[in-house]
Amino acid sequence: MSTLSKKDKQGFLLIASVALLVLALFVANYQRSNKPKLDERSCSADIARSTAIVIDRSDDTPSQTIDEIVARTKQFVSERAQEGELVSLFEISGSSRTSLKPVFSACLPKRDGNDLYENRRKIQRYFEERFAKPLDQALAQPPMRSESSPISEAIIDLSASQYLAAPANRLIVFSDLLQNSPNASLYRCSAAKAAIADFKSHRAGAIERPTFRNVAIELNVIPREGIGRDVVACRDGFWAWFFGDDDGPDAGLTTKMLPGGAKIQ
């Protein structure tokens, strides 16, 4: 029985290498030709998942609290956000009442690639320039203190917007949850029922309470010292009612505290 010569083995190896190269080129061309067209936000026409991140900057916030807000936002992007997911960042201030616009909004692009059939550096550079750096810049903006905190109104507007309209959605809120607007104020609230009734009365003719469809809601509470137990109970009761209409397999409400504890100014 004859065995393959060294030249034969080299020939077979060369043929196999060429075949692999041709296959890799074919896969790369196939992927490029089948990629959906993306808009200026790196989003396709059909967005499967959306996340709206709301940061309440209307009152002074300790530096350790701000650092944790940034850390949790980046952790979400690195560990839980999916490729193609629309991620939008909003800041709450007095102007949010009539001008609620994202300070950042983009779909998460591919972060890395395979050197065998992709331009890995190009993919990484695109991720940094079109997503990571703009998000970092938005998170680094200085706070915008204001006399009012229209948190409820902003979330109601988001619930009826394109930013939470995907088949699956997530709402991440960083706030002390001390609603303070002409519609309702929780600063000196002692009874949740009264605060709810006041808010509904002022919102007559508009959306009184948001309706969520398949939205996972995550509340990250900025601690405030000295607000009193009655205000805390009233605040918690108000928000339990406010987030009470949420259906779908991904629907849910979780609450976590942030570090810090500055007083309301």
Q: What is the mean pLDDT of residues 97-101?
A: 86
Residues 20 and 84 in one domain: no
pLDDT of 24 strictly over 90: no
For residue 25, give its domain range: 1-35
Residue 215 has pLDDT above 80, yes or no: yes
Say if residue 12's pLDDT is above 80.
no
Assign residue 20 a region: left if phi > 0, alpha if psi is -120 to 50, beta otherwise?
alpha
**Is the pLDDT reported for residue 33 higher than 60?**
no
Residue 191, helix vs strand vs coil: coil
**177 is a domain residue:** yes
| pLDDT of 262 | 76
**What pLDDT does 141 receive?**
87
Burial class (CB in 10 A: 0-12, 13-18, 19+), 101: exposed
**Which residue did the predictor score with more confidence, 14 or 158?**
158
The percent of residues in the chain predicted with pLDDT above 90, rounded, is 68
Quick check: 220 pLDDT over 80? yes
In this structure, the answer to whether residues 97 and 26 fall within a common structural domain is no
Residue 44 resides in a domain:
no
pLDDT of amino acid 4: 61
Confidence band for 8, pLDDT divided at 50, 70 and 90:
low
Q: How many domains is the chain partitioned into structurally?
A: 2
Q: Enter the pTM of the model.
A: 0.85
pLDDT at 252: 96
- The CATH number of whichever domain residue 70 belongs to comes to 3.40.50
For residue 42, tell me if it sits in a domain: no
Greater pLDDT, 262 or 247: 247
Same domain, 58 and 31: no
Say which DSSP state 8 is in. H
> Is 24 a member of any domain?
yes
- Which token pair is 67? 């650092």
Average pLDDT over residues 241-253: 96
Sign of CA dihedral 257, 263, 264, 265: negative
**What average pLDDT does the segment 174-187 reach?**
92
Closest of 258, 77, 109, 85 to residue 173, by C-alpha = 258
Are 8 and 110 part of one and the same domain?
no
Q: Rounded to whole angstroms, how far apart are CA atoms 201 and 65?
A: 34
Residues 93 and 24 in one domain: no
| pLDDT at residue 40, rounded to an integer | 93
pLDDT tens digits for range 139-157: 998 877 777 889 999 999 9
In a domain, residue 265? The reply is no
Residue 263 lies in a domain: no
Indicate if the pLDDT at residue 59 is higher than 70.
yes
Whether 12 and 114 map to the same domain: the answer is: no
Confidence bin at 36 (pLDDT 50/70/90): confident
Pairwise CA distance, residues 86 & 163, whole Å: 8
Distance CA 149, CA 186 (A): 10
DSSP string, 164-177: G-SSEEEEEEEE--
Task: Give yes or no: residues 135 and 70 share one domain.
Answer: yes
**Are 212 and 86 in a shared domain?**
yes
